[in-house]
Structure 1
Amino acid sequence: MPPTRYLMVDGHGDPNTDPSYAAALAALYPVAYALKFASKASGHDYVVPPLEGLWWAEHMASFTDARDKTVWDWTMMLAVPDWLGEHDVTAAVAAVRAKKTPPARLDDVHVSVLDEGLCVQTLRIGPFDAEGPVLEEMHSEFIPAQGLEMAGRHHEIYLGDPRRAAPEKLRTILRQPVRPAGE
């Protein structure tokens, strides 16, 4: 994967129950749309890309076996086109801050480059809570069988809106950065 710039917000805890997760998204999307509209006004329109997330925990079993989301750390992300610079992001944050009630976690929005390099990924269709067996197979069977080992945080790309799609129809790209084993 090539290096990619993202708007990011970091957090910890269960995305289904921890209010900081919803607050992170409530800060991320207004900045992304402010960037989009500013870019469109300057002649470069684009579609706000799908939400992405990096997920990690001290023990990988919290993703594959127990699914203990209370111990998960996360970074939620929206890709930023290369033609938008730091000044554009600063202006977008300022525009969102100027609104009547700016999002609570607006100060947590930052821009970083994610450079994952070599990755293994698969498209999964179904509810998020049923990902465990696919991740277990990817981590414990497929990756080692290719002479690779995990080399970064688990990455998910959400191709549908869970508020609008039935859980059995959700589409998620599950991505894992890897490197040759032993490097």
Structure 2
Amino acid sequence: MTKIEWKKTEPWYSTRKKARILTLPDQHYFLIDGLGDPNQADFAQRVQTLYPLSYAIRMSYRNDWEIDGYQEYTVYPLQGHWSIQEQYLNQTPMKKDYFKYTIGIKQPEFVTAAVAEKAKQRAAEKVDAALLKQVRFETIKGKQVSQILHVGPFDEEPVSFAKLEDYLKTEGYQRVSHEHDEIYLSDPRKTAPEKMKTILQVEIKLV
């Protein structure tokens, strides 16, 4: 069985520190939306809803579930798409309570809508029923992005975003919007804040 080595073959998961420009392909995800401060319990509960679904597929071959085209792989890292709730767009100072987000975990190409639905059924006993109803399986369309690796606490991300902005200016690009994506390569429960690794990613276009 050929193993999916996404850390080696999908460059948007690279820990390269310098800013870069990439074109993302269409990608499949389990997704759930949320509002407010990610440091609160509601965010953690939404994260905890996604992982059992992903592991149901990952461990399917050990649990009497044969999936067509299955390949062994490591579960992909958590990702987040971050923006501001519309009613707070002009509010200052900015507060984390104003955030609007979509968090997700990417799924391999062999995962279909039918497979995703069966994963939800198999994981139902492990997650909150109300939150499970909010999870959707969706294909996010490809786009051109620029990204940079941020090492350190989440609250220090503006320093890395400033570096990314400088890079885009020199390359003749600009951000499409103030929204951005984050890929969490570290587990905050097990990693010291100064060693946290987070990929910061923004959609771009030529100036």
TM-score, normalisation: structure 2: 0.76
- What are the within-5 Å matches in structure 2 for residues 18-57 of structure 1? 19-38=41-60, 41-42=65-66, 44-57=71-84
2:93 and 2:168 map into 1 onto residues whose CA distance is: 21
1:61 and 1:2 map into 2 onto residues whose CA distance is: 33
- What are the within-5 Å matches in structure 2 for residues 63-102 of structure 1? 66=93, 68-97=95-124, 99=125, 102=127
| Cα deviation 1:105-137 (Å, max 9, x = unaligned) | 111111112224211111111011111222244
Corresponding residue for residue 16 of structure 1: 39
In structure 2, relative to structure 1, the CA distance for the partners of 1:165 and 1:32 (3 Å cut) is same
1:56 and 1:136 map into 2 onto residues whose CA distance is: 17
1:53 and 1:176 map into 2 onto residues whose CA distance is: 12
2:83 and 2:61 map into 1 onto residues whose CA distance is: 33
Runs of 5+ unmatched residues, structure 2: 1-23
State whether structure 2 residue 171 is matched by structure 1 residue 149. no
Please give the secondary structure, in 2, of the residue aligned with 1:105. Answer: helix
Runs of 5+ unmatched residues, structure 1: none
Please give the secondary structure, in 2, of the residue aligned with 1:89. Answer: helix
Displacement of 1:20: 2.2
Corresponding residue for residue 134 of structure 1: 160
In structure 2, relative to structure 1, the CA distance for the partners of 1:170 and 1:154 (3 Å cut) is same
- Structure 1 residues 120-129 or 41-50, which shifts more? 41-50
| Cα deviation 1:124-161 (Å, max 9, x = unaligned) | 1101111122224434x332342222125301111110
Please give the secondary structure, in 2, of the residue aligned with 1:144. Answer: helix
Q: Percent identity?
A: 29
TM-score, normalisation: structure 1: 0.85
2:159 and 2:90 map into 1 onto residues whose CA distance is: 11
Contact 2:152 2:194 in 1 (8 A): yes
| Cα deviation 1:26-48 (Å, max 9, x = unaligned) | 21111111121225653522111
Displacement of 1:66: 4.7
Contact 2:120 2:132 in 1 (8 A): yes
Please give the secondary structure, in 2, of the residue aligned with 1:47. Answer: coil
1:102 and 1:3 map into 2 onto residues whose CA distance is: 28
Runs of 4+ in 1 over 4 A off after TM superposition: 58-62
CA RMSD after TM alignment: 2.3
Corresponding residue for residue 115 of structure 1: 141
In structure 2, relative to structure 1, the CA distance for the partners of 1:12 and 1:110 (3 Å cut) is same
In structure 2, relative to structure 1, the CA distance for the partners of 1:122 and 1:102 (3 Å cut) is closer
In structure 2, relative to structure 1, the CA distance for the partners of 1:67 and 1:171 (3 Å cut) is farther
In structure 2, relative to structure 1, the CA distance for the partners of 1:10 and 1:136 (3 Å cut) is same
